[in-house]
Amino acid sequence: MYYGGDFIDIVLIFILCLQWSRGSRQRTKVNNVVRSWDVPDFLKLKTLK
pLDDT tens series, the chain, 49 aa? 456 678 888 888 888 888 877 776 555 665 566 566 665 665 666 665 5
**pTM of full prediction above 0.75:** no
**Range 11-39 burial, b when 16+ CB lie within 10 A, else e:** eeeeeeeeeebbeeeeeeebbeeeeeeee
